[in-house]
């Protein structure tokens, strides 16, 4: 019993010592702010030092206004939700708490991708740059790191890019920034020779990891495989291909050759 009492007293005294050193966070902060705002490093929102600099005591009213009607400052961070449900007295309490919290050192947060994917071939859907938001990137197993971006709405190749394709900009910003396909080295316009809209049916992935897209135009089923042969990109078609033509951009480092059922793209 005396041992229990001793333990109790020890806990009580250390708890009160801690309370003197660090002011307790107001309940409204715990409930509404803590999940995103840390004292010493940026998490979902900015850290305390950043807020202290932006909203010193002299800018109390700006702080209150931001809480009630927040905007978006950093394009790579999510927008703060409004805190209009918190009464003014409690917002002031939160502001005081942030201003009175001493932060010794701000820790740097890393923007590094912890899960980079560089496998080739691979098929990745994302918001890729310079194309429809429903496009698919195929990273091909070429030494030159060639990628095809294929539009699943128009059912056609949009461009070929070179370099490591990176969808981390998209992931980091939750889709606000576009994924980086590498350097776009070739774009093309394609017409199917009909006004009918293609209907995308999906894709198969073969044992080598190459996709074959399935779609119909005017009820005709078409398959289109995207693969590589050496350092060339190859599109191979089956089915009753409607007469279609491709027009490459003028200034391009890619040579295009066709057969009855293939289009081959090679670096010049």
Partner 1 sequence: MKHLLTSTLCSLLLGAPAMAEFFWEDHYLIEDITLPADIDPQIGGLDMNEDGDIVACFHRGQVMTYDTSADKWSLFAEGLHEPLGIYAEKGGTVVVVQRPEITRLHDTDGDGKADFYETVCDDWGVSGNYHEFTFGLEKDSKGNFYIALGTASNGSGVRDEIRGEWNDAGGLTHDRFKYNNAIEEQSWASKKKGTARMYARVPYRGCVLKVSPGNRKAEVYATGVRTPNGLYVDEHDQLWVSDNQGDWVGASKVHRIVEGGFHGHAASLLWDPKNPVTDAVPASIPPAELNKRRTKAPFLLPQGDCGNSITQMTALQPEFSNGTAGNNLIVGEMNHSHLSACLPDTVKGEVQGAVYHHLKTSTIGAGNNRLLYSPDNKSLYIGKTHLSWPGREGIKKVTYKGKPFLVADRVQLTETGFDITFNAPITDIGAISDYLIESYVIAYYAGYGSPKNELRTDGITKVEAKGNVLSITLDKLEAGRVYDIRLPSSITSDLSDIAATRYWYTAHQILD
Q: Is 205 in the site for partner 1 (CB under 8 A)?
A: yes
Cα–Cα distance, 156 to 171 (Å, whole number): 25
**How many Cβ atoms are within 10 Å of 116's Cβ, its own excluded?**
11
Which residue among 2, 4, 61, 260 contacts partner 1 (CB under 8 A)? 4
In the complex, the smallest distance separating the C-beta of residue 243 from partner 1, rounded to whole angstroms, is 25
Q: Report residue 158 as tokens.
A: 């949009």
- By C-beta, is 212 or 264 nearer to partner 1? 212
Residue with tokens 């107001």: 26
3-state secondary structure of 159: strand
In the complex, the smallest distance separating the C-beta of residue 133 from partner 1, rounded to whole angstroms, is 4
3-state secondary structure of 257: strand
Q: Is 72 in the site for partner 1 (CB under 8 A)?
A: yes
Q: Is 257 in the site for partner 1 (CB under 8 A)?
A: no
In the complex, the smallest distance separating the C-beta of residue 197 from partner 1, rounded to whole angstroms, is 12
Q: Which residues contact 53 (CB under 8 A, 6 or more apart)?
A: none
Q: Is 8 in the site for partner 1 (CB under 8 A)?
A: yes
Cα–Cα distance, 184 to 250 (Å, whole number): 14
In the complex, the smallest distance separating the C-beta of residue 55 from partner 1, rounded to whole angstroms, is 18
175 contacts 182 by C-beta, under 8 angstroms: no
124 contacts 134 by C-beta, under 8 angstroms: no
How many residues are recorded in the chain?
268
In the complex, the smallest distance separating the C-beta of residue 198 from partner 1, rounded to whole angstroms, is 12
Q: Could you tell me the CA-to-CA distances from 178 to 73, 112, 124, 135, 181 in Å, in that order? A: 18, 17, 13, 12, 9
Site string for partner 1, 11-50 (x = CB under 8 A): xx--x------------x--xx--xx------xx------
Residue with tokens 């429903």: 134
In the complex, the smallest distance separating the C-beta of residue 192 from partner 1, rounded to whole angstroms, is 18
Exposed, middle or buried by CB within 10 Å (0-12, 13-18, 19+), for 143? exposed
Q: Is 219 in the site for partner 1 (CB under 8 A)?
A: no
**Residues 83-142 contacting partner 1, CB under 8 A:** 84-87, 114-115, 117, 122-127, 131-134, 136
Cα–Cα distance, 177 to 168 (Å, whole number): 9
- Contact window for partner 1 (CB under 8 A) among 50-58, 164-172, 227-235, 252-260: 164-172
- By C-beta, is 35 or 57 nearer to partner 1? 35
- Contact window for partner 1 (CB under 8 A) among 75-83, 100-108, 185-193, 257-265: 75-83
Which residues are at the interface with partner 1 (CB under 8 A)? 4, 8, 11-12, 15, 28, 31-32, 35-36, 43-44, 69, 71-72, 75, 77-79, 81-82, 84-87, 114-115, 117, 122-127, 131-134, 136, 152-153, 167, 171-176, 199-206
């Amino acid at each position: 019993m005396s041992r229990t009492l001793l333990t109790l007293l020890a806990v009580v005294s250390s708890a009160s010592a801690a309370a003197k050193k660090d002011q307790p966070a107001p309940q409204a902060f715990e409930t509404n702010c803590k999940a995103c705002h840390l004292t010493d490093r940026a998490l979902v929102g900015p850290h305390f030092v950043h807020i202290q600099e932006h909203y010193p005591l002299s800018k109390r009213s700006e702080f209150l206004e931001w809480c009630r009607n927040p905007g978006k400052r950093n394009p790579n961070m999510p927008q703060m939700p409004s805190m209009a449900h918190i009464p003014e007295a409690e917002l002031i309490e939160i502001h005081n708490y942030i201003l009175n919290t001493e932060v010794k050192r701000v820790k740097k947060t890393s923007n590094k991708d912890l899960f980079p994917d560089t496998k080739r071939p691979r098929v990745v859907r994302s918001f890729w740059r310079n194309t429809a938001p429903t496009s698919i990137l195929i990273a091909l197993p070429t030494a030159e790191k060639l990628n095809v971006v294929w539009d699943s709405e128009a059912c056609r190749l949009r461009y070929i890019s070179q370099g490591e394709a990176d969808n981390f900009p998209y992931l980091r910003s939750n889709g606000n920034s576009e994924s980086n396909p590498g350097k776009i080295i070739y774009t093309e316009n394609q017409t199917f020779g009909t006004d009918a809209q293609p209907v995308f049916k999906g894709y198969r992935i073969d044992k080598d990891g190459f996709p074959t897209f399935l779609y119909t135009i005017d009820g005709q089923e078409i398959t289109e495989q995207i693969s590589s042969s050496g350092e060339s990109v190859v599109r191979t078609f089956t089915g009753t291909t409607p007469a279609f033509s491709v027009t490459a951009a003028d200034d391009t480092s890619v040579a295009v050759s066709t057969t009855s059922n293939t289009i081959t793209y090679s670096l010049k």
